[in-house]
Structure 1
Amino acid sequence: MSLPTAFLDAAARLIPQERRFDDPLSTLAFGTDASFYRLIPQLVIRVESEREVVELLKLAGVHRVPVTFRAAGTSLSGQAISDSVLLMLGDHWNGREVRNDGAQIRLQPGVIGASANAVLAPYQRKIGPDPASIAAARIGGIVANNSSGMCCGTAQNSYHTLAGLRLVLADGTLVDTEDPASVASFQHSHADLLQQLAELGRQTRGNSELAAKIRHKYRLKNTTGLSLNALVDFDEPLDILSHLMVGSEGTLGFISAVTYHTVPEHPHKASALLVFPDVESCCRAVPLLKLQPVSAVELLDRRSLRSVQDKPGMPVWVRALSGGACALLIESRAASASLLDEQVDAIMAAIAHFPLEKQVDFSTDPAVYNLLWKIRKDTFPAVGAVRATGTTVIIEDVTFPLEVLAEGVNRLLELLDKHGYSEAIIFGHALEGNLHFVFTQGFDDPAQVARYQAFMGEVAQLVAVEFGGALKAEHGTGRNMAPFVELEWGSEAYQLMWAIKRLLDPLGILNPDVILSEDRELHLKNLKPLPAADALVDKCIECGFCEPVCPSRGLTLSPRQRIVIWRDIQAKKRAGIDTAELEAAYQHHGLDTCAATGLCAQRCPVGINTGDLVRQLRGEQARHRGSATWLAGHFATALQGARLGLLAADTARRLLGAPRLARWAAGLHRQLGTPLWTAAMPQPVQALKWVAAPPSERPRVVYLPACVSRAMGPAFSDSEQSTLLDKTRALLEKAGFAVIFPDGLDQLCCGQPFTSKGYASQGDNKRDELLATLLRASRNGQDPIYCDTSPCTLRLVQGNADSRLRLYDPVKFIREHLLDKLEITPQEAPVAVHVTCSTQHLGEAEGLIEIARRCAKQVVIPEGIHCCGFAGDKGFTTPELNAHALRSLKDAVQVCAEGVSTSRTCEIGLSQHSGIDYHSLVYLLDRVSRPKGRTADLWAENPGATD
């Protein structure tokens, strides 16, 4: 049924056009979540204020329009999709307020869970919920789903750590439980509602059988249905209301802010892996461990261990475990090292009588415990990586009472075998009896759907009826388990949930069919297709973990959305449907505005780099291969042309003045698509000329200035007017090195400019040519090779097959070769640090930050900026990507007078959008350092010696 015209007109008056989406690309892209269900909204609205939510809910009520709230879309059970109106959180829901030295924190629903913990880290506190998706999931979804995780258990989830709530009800009424004036107003305006909630509570507490059932159900980890425990835990109606909102999945109201009681984040931790010979002995150990000072106990069945045993870095012994083996991964945390030792001794003493097949003792060594947790974290993606194209990965989570955990595991294994899920694995949060089972499922033919239906029916009977457990422990009910809520809870409790729903949402407009549904086959409808699109991305499970690091998210598409749309295009083509209009839209949204930096691959559970797909598609569109080949063969000419272009721009700036030139350039860019000139545009660098110095006793370093360093100097307004090339050479010499330049420098290039435009073969040829030249310059690898920008270094490192070459980006070379030769006096002035995408890929992010902290007493790392979006030359050609990626930068760096990074092009965009000058890290290090020891003597004897 289409949306009422009156509603659409009223929404258009309230929300600007740029935040309303009804085109096929946007509705499919924004309407996709991490579940295996698909509904396509008719209208997506990006809301930016509480007032907008209030007014839209009032409109929805008047016109009987269903609405669904959407935060990050990492939910797994179909609770964040809609075929009506989807209200999606925009940028302005990111507020946070730390209270009482970290004992509490007030958060708006758009804050990413991991960001909340980063704010709390200086206080050694964290929020209680710790879902696996915490680096992508947002607070609104974490509260609305009552998400938990490995360490959270039941005591530290959102329900039990809730200190206050600000919410909007279905009728548009706003109430803040921490604001006395708001509470008083609400008690006056909604006295009848509060009275009815209080009466429901009294009736429930007075029904001893029902109250006992509720208490039993929430003794377990349980997110099936509404949070009925609110009716037995509280008698004040406002407390009942606020706790009903936790886990309500947007079916009772909109959570506008939440205040948490935080929990300790102890700095000392140790982990161990204990492998038991069978499931029974493994599960019998769990109740004993629950009495001990453990922070997490993760169960891994033999299938889970088998799924990762052949991965790089896995211990050889994993492969040799017996067929029935079952493991517990145990972590303990403490406020001090001595207390941690005591805890470890107590834990091991408690289970000393259990026979073990294999044991990795408790270790505080990060290399050891990170490997152990890698075993656990790699299990889910291991299943996803082997699934057949077109199938989806389903991760279910159930809870068994601890006393029957062993039988529950074995019975689940039997069901998986019975229904032919041979690839399935079981792991979970053992302390709570919470098991995840992961399997692959196709929905493209009736037989597969029937198999899934039969399997889930038997699982529901086993878990909910036979064992009295929970069908959803922490993933939320959603559409997936809505048909089974009555089976699990019984008719009386089920009707109580409906009474709550009808009281708080009498018109039924809030997320219909989620949690509560009259449709007993809802879980079998609107199943998401995952058609083949390209081998590069076919393993994508659309989880959304990639989205927070994508610079184009919110401007056009995220990596998940790029894959969703490309899948749809390919499926439509195979069906003979015309895709011309969709592909035209995808050109801008999917290809032109992708930075293709590959940060998405770092967050992706199965390692997908959506940039690889984008580069491949650009390559298919590339129409100037002859020109690309000519430029590769005449690169020195091309580089000189770039210098001349920069000179022409700078001459125009001198003649017209920077403000006028900026206005003219912006107009030409809008009309003709010409590259955008800004005040941060570099001045040209003259071609390098040097005279070889006589041989010296100094150690040699081969210095490879990137082509951008050879062409682009400082901006005219920059406080630093030395070129990066000159500054780097001076720093290397100060540290006692003789600097060697490769022969034919201006002809050399790593090939990245060609590859990013889709000319992969030309790019690879240039890279290989450069690597061969560097091998000669370094005397077959005797000398280290320093490249002054991290993107070029990454390109060379990834393409280098010769183990003799020792390639360094600025951070690694400074760490390993310069710091011990320099005496550093940190400056007082604060410094902003931008960690480039390539620095992250090189594993040098922490190294860059640590060097900056040695050079400056205060270092600012702007939150939420993972990629600057300049992407080589897109800052000139597609400047909206750079502007969007850095939209929060200026406010974050106001206390700084300078920023540092390791990419010359990134620094252009950073300078433009921050209001401060960004330079290479070497500028800062050179300024605050002087040579020491023998290096100082050599420097005094012969400053500036260069070969």
Structure 2
Amino acid sequence: MSEFLDQLRRVNGDVLHDPATRALYSADASNYRHVPQVVLRPKSIDAVVEAVAVAAAHGVPITSRGAGTSIAGNACGTGLVIDFSRYLNAVEIDGDRATVQPGAVLDRVNALATPFLFGPDPSTHSRCTVGGMIGNNACGAHSVRWGKTSENVTRLDVLLPDGRRFRTDAPPELDLPTADPAWFPELSRRVSGYALDALPDLTKALVGTEGTCVVLLGAELKLVRAPERRILVVLGFADTYDAADQVVALRELPVLAVEGIDEALVRAVRQRPELPPGRSWLFVEVSDHHTAKQAARISRHHLIIEDAAHQRALWRIREDGAGLTTRTPDGGEAWSGWEDAAVPPENLGRYLREFDALLSRHGRRGITYGHYGEGCLHVRIDFDLAHGYRAFLEDAADLVVAHGGSLSGEHGDGQARSELLTRMYPPAAIKAFGRFKAAFDPRNLLNPGRIVDPLPLDADLRVVVAPPRIPTRAEFAADTRRCVGVGKCLNTKGGVMCPSYRVTKEEKHSTRGRARLLFEMLTGDVIRKGWRSAEVRDALDLCLACKGCKRDCPVDVDMAAYKAEFLHHHYKWRVRPAAHYSMGWLPLWLRLGFVHRLATRFRRLGGIAPERELPVPARRTLQQLFRRTNQGGTRVLLFPDTFTNRFEPRIGLDAANVLTHLGYQVDLPKPTVCCGLTWHSTGQFGVAERVLRRTARILRPWTSTGTPVVGLEPSCTSFLRNEAQKLTDDSDVKLLANSMRTFAEQIEQDLPQAVGSGKALVQIHCHQYADLGFVADRNVFETAGVDATVLDSGCCGLAGNFGFEKGHYEVSMACAEQGLLPAVRETEAQVVADGFSCRTQIRHGSAKEPVHLATVIASTLGLVSKET
């Protein structure tokens, strides 16, 4: 091993064999776990050639990896894992041809190829690599029109373990088997086994070989012209069988896609979109109005949608399906393993009926959806992976074969289905598969255990590795399994998740990477120090606790909550970082006046970034300035959070003036109150709970009578409404949680129509984005006559204490520079940000003075407070 590593380190690339990296790459998006010896992120194609030679010389197995989103266990191995995604992502476009390196991301290829595109489009298109697509013969929703990856690749540049490199349009002499056409079922979505029927076209035959025959170095892609128009027709049906029975009729039309969506999948979405009546739906995409009308006639219940934003909202349900279906309706866990079978479309209805009967016989449940136009069914099932998993998969394989289908319709065989190929193909075909692999890889070094000489389908299951070896809550252990690896957190645009990953592009800074490290921490054989793990601590150090993952992750991973719990255990009975004492205890220091009087010392001793200016507390607090008015109105309580109360009391006065103007009697508690968030986010749960319970007791006179409590700081409002109830089961805390309202929610129904005008550029606080929602705020802006543009720029980067902590400044500002600060600098509109962190970051990075929604509305009503 040491000699192997010494030679590998001479390769131009990142050679990583530390415990954290080995843990990060131990799994893909499947149920399987294989801890690699070493990971290489090569910086050149020559480096790949050299690394393969070193591995071959030492007999080390080689696994090629792109985004790590393979669902069948195709992209995790025990030897050398080559990650192409970091550096080898070059793209060259020449008309309707693209030449790409294996790590090129599909969405980037299509962005550069306009007005053309690469036809195959798996749901992971925003992060999946072309190399991974070629490995699995990926298809996607539009294969009805443009086919599989194998039909859209014109040439491969490949490497063999013996050092030979060639292009598939000019291969060397190879001893390849001949195939009997009778071996292969006739359906377009067959990707199981090897495509020997494609020979002598070696390009098509090697697409879908899952890295078991060659190492891919590059590819030439055939592009298609993008449709000028896309129209989505949504058809509603009584059940999924009725929907499936209409697929053949729809395939007679020039459709672009025909996707099936089940009611249970729609229920998993936070906000149910507008759909026609029914319990199952077909999403039919077409390119012209005539075809749209023809498709609509298939069902009495239908919608024809031309608005692009509405279409994207609906497609998002389908694209997030692999994540949304990991939880059953009652909250149980559901798994892949049999999620990808395909049958001829004319058999889909019958197959679905018999498949559901098979689920019932095995006492299992699953949520079905998928590429109905191609007869490809996706489903995640509530398997007990320790019992009955093999029996179900064997019966399911026999069922799909009986319907003339393929075990896999696009995800490949991997470890999940390779062992079952003998149930789909005759012995002569299985023998031919072995000869085909041996022609390229006679020593079985390339991704061994897949397709040929397969590993057992019920071995190496990461979800049953071992019970946690360290004390933890059962819920936390389950949460570390919540991430299934589909990698939506690897997106670099749209939403909030994951700010630090977007800056560093390091897997350990993705939500997926951190979740995987926490899982390995509990498992204990790679990450060995449990709650004291330095690897987990370092990975979580750049987590902004923005909670973007709680909203954007399709399986609701809440890394902010996991980080807080880890910090709670990691520093128990230990000295904490200085920032935990300074920023974590900030509400107390402000109350005692330390921040104002000892600002320089506070910065030096408190672990504060020297580049940061500390905000200056106001001369008088909101509680000191407030005067109760309008005694006869409906009572509301204004919550004087630390930031509004101590730094920007004018916001509280503006809110009070607006509420009073709308007829409310506004109260303010006299004692100092605090939600406890700063202690909670730094893992100081004991103090956080005591602070929270004290505040809840102080506010009991209002909350016990149903008085709304209006929060102005989104992070505090979100914490009191949601996280507080997880911290303690105190009855007063529950009353407070149920009483919390945002300012917009409180005034939404009372604000007079169109009282103002002007434009606003709005930055949503991440905790509001994740927990509170922005619907009421949009309505308030509209009612007030303010033309509001809401930024889709991600986290501001300051994120509470994160951006103030020493060592975080560069990442914090880089987050802001990805979208927020450039937009703020360019706009002439009023900049609105309800979060204190967001406003502070905007002030630090621009010349703009941002305001709170309360001030915007107070201004339109002529009620802006003059006091400071």
Q: TM-score, normalised by structure 2?
A: 0.75
Which residue identity does 1:45 align to in structure 2? L
Counterparts of 1:310 and 1:858, CA distance in 2: 29
Distance 1:194 1:570, change over 3 A: closer
> 1:894 Cα shift?
8.9
Q: Which residue of 2 aligns with 1:639?
A: 590
Which residue identity does 2:835 align to in structure 1? S
Does residue 292 (structure 1) correspond to residue 253 (structure 2)? The answer is yes
Which residue identity does 1:196 align to in structure 2? E
> Which deviations, in whole Å up to 9, do the C-alpha atoms of 1:631-671 show, x marking residues without a partner?
99x98753145x64366445999xxxxxxxxxxx6xx8xxx
Q: Which residue of 2 aligns with 1:32?
A: 27
Matches within 5 A, 1:524-539: 524-530=458-464, 531=466, 534-538=474-478
> 1:83 Cα shift?
0.8
> Which deviations, in whole Å up to 9, do the C-alpha atoms of 1:869-904 show, x marking residues without a partner?
654223344635x64576576576896673865533
Q: Which residue of 1 aligns with 2:550?
A: 601
Whether the 8 Å CA contact 2:154–2:222 is kept in 1: the answer is yes
> 1:786 Cα shift?
6.2
Whether the 8 Å CA contact 1:426–1:436 is kept in 2: the answer is yes
Distance 1:624 1:167, change over 3 A: same
Counterparts of 1:168 and 1:893, CA distance in 2: 44
Does residue 395 (structure 1) correspond to residue 338 (structure 2)? The answer is yes
Whether the 8 Å CA contact 1:617–1:758 is kept in 2: the answer is no
> Which deviations, in whole Å up to 9, do the C-alpha atoms of 1:414-472 show, x marking residues without a partner?
54445x2433455443221222344333344xxx3xx44344334334434x4432111
> 1:229 Cα shift?
6.0
Distance 1:12 1:635, change over 3 A: closer
Distance 1:362 1:513, change over 3 A: same
Counterparts of 1:256 and 1:432, CA distance in 2: 28
1:687 to 616, 620, 627: 620
SS of 1:329 mapped into structure 2 = strand
Whether the 8 Å CA contact 2:156–2:216 is kept in 1: the answer is no
Matches within 5 A, 1:333-482: 333-334=285-286, 339=289, 342-349=290-297, 351=298, 360-362=301-303, 364=305, 381=324, 384-385=327-328, 393-418=336-361, 420-424=362-366, 426-444=368-386, 448=387, 451-464=388-401, 466-482=402-418
SS of 1:69 mapped into structure 2 = strand
Which residue identity does 2:589 align to in structure 1? A
> Which residues of structure 2 form unaligned runs of 5+?
469-473, 491-496, 725-733
Counterparts of 2:89 and 2:767, CA distance in 1: 23
Q: Which residue of 2 aligns with 1:178?
A: none
> 1:823 Cα shift?
3.1
1:6 to 3, 6, 11: 3
Q: Which residue of 1 aligns with 2:484?
A: 543
Does residue 45 (structure 1) correspond to residue 13 (structure 2)? The answer is no
2:772 to 842, 846, 867: 842
Distance 1:105 1:241, change over 3 A: closer
Q: Which residue of 2 aligns with 1:155?
A: 146
Matches within 5 A, 1:89-488: 89=84, 91-92=86-87, 119=111, 128-134=119-125, 137-153=128-144, 155-162=146-153, 170=161, 194-196=171-173, 210=181, 217=186, 219-228=187-196, 230-231=198-199, 240-241=202-203, 244-245=206-207, 248-249=210-211, 251-255=213-217, 259=221, 261=223, 263-264=226-227, 266-275=229-238, 279=241, 283-292=244-253, 294-299=255-260, 328-334=280-286, 339=289, 342-349=290-297, 351=298, 360-362=301-303, 364=305, 381=324, 384-385=327-328, 393-418=336-361, 420-424=362-366, 426-444=368-386, 448=387, 451-464=388-401, 466-485=402-421, 488=424
1:922 to 833, 851, 866: 851
Counterparts of 1:224 and 1:457, CA distance in 2: 15
Matches within 5 A, 1:550-569: 550-551=498-499, 554=506, 556=508, 558-569=510-521
Matches within 5 A, 1:807-818: 807-808=741-742
Distance 1:544 1:10, change over 3 A: same
RMSD over equivalenced CA pairs, Å: 5.7
Counterparts of 1:737 and 1:50, CA distance in 2: 68
Matches within 5 A, 1:793-812: 793-798=717-722, 807-808=741-742
Which residue identity does 1:526 align to in structure 2? D
> Which residues of structure 1 form unaligned runs of 5+?
175-185, 235-239, 322-326, 353-358, 654-664, 713-723
Q: Which residue of 2 aligns with 1:82?
A: 77
SS of 1:480 mapped into structure 2 = helix
> Which deviations, in whole Å up to 9, do the C-alpha atoms of 1:797-826 show, x marking residues without a partner?
446857996733689989996994443268
Whether the 8 Å CA contact 1:635–1:746 is kept in 2: the answer is no
Counterparts of 2:815 and 2:7, CA distance in 1: 31
Q: Which residue of 2 aligns with 1:662?
A: none
Counterparts of 1:779 and 1:411, CA distance in 2: 53
Whether the 8 Å CA contact 1:272–1:361 is kept in 2: the answer is yes
Whether the 8 Å CA contact 2:233–2:302 is kept in 1: the answer is no
Distance 1:378 1:873, change over 3 A: same
Which residue identity does 1:477 align to in structure 2? D
Distance 1:113 1:772, change over 3 A: farther
> 1:9 Cα shift?
0.5
Whether the 8 Å CA contact 2:45–2:217 is kept in 1: the answer is no
Counterparts of 1:59 and 1:649, CA distance in 2: 57
Counterparts of 2:93 and 2:660, CA distance in 1: 48
Q: Which residue of 2 aligns with 1:824?
A: 758
Which residue identity does 1:922 align to in structure 2? V
Which residue identity does 1:838 align to in structure 2? Q
Distance 1:386 1:906, change over 3 A: same
Whether the 8 Å CA contact 1:267–1:334 is kept in 2: the answer is yes
Matches within 5 A, 1:788-937: 789-798=713-722, 807-808=741-742, 820-824=754-758, 836-844=766-774, 866-867=794-795, 870-877=798-805, 879-880=807-808, 883-884=810-811, 890=817, 898=825, 902-905=834-837, 916-917=845-846, 921-922=850-851, 935=861
Which residue identity does 2:173 align to in structure 1? Q
SS of 2:233 mapped into structure 1 = strand
Which residue identity does 2:76 align to in structure 1? I
Matches within 5 A, 1:594-673: 594-619=543-568, 637-641=588-592, 644-645=594-595, 648-649=598-599
Distance 1:372 1:45, change over 3 A: closer
SS of 2:171 mapped into structure 1 = helix
Which residue identity does 2:774 align to in structure 1? E
Whether the 8 Å CA contact 2:638–2:710 is kept in 1: the answer is yes
Whether the 8 Å CA contact 2:25–2:76 is kept in 1: the answer is no
Matches within 5 A, 1:755-766: 755-756=680-681, 757-759=683-685, 760-765=688-693
Distance 1:15 1:528, change over 3 A: same
Whether the 8 Å CA contact 2:136–2:208 is kept in 1: the answer is yes
Q: Which residue of 1 aligns with 2:729?
A: none
SS of 2:462 mapped into structure 1 = coil
Distance 1:404 1:687, change over 3 A: same
> 1:600 Cα shift?
2.9
Which residue identity does 2:478 align to in structure 1? D
Whether the 8 Å CA contact 2:718–2:767 is kept in 1: the answer is no
Q: TM-score, normalised by structure 1?
A: 0.69
SS of 2:381 mapped into structure 1 = strand
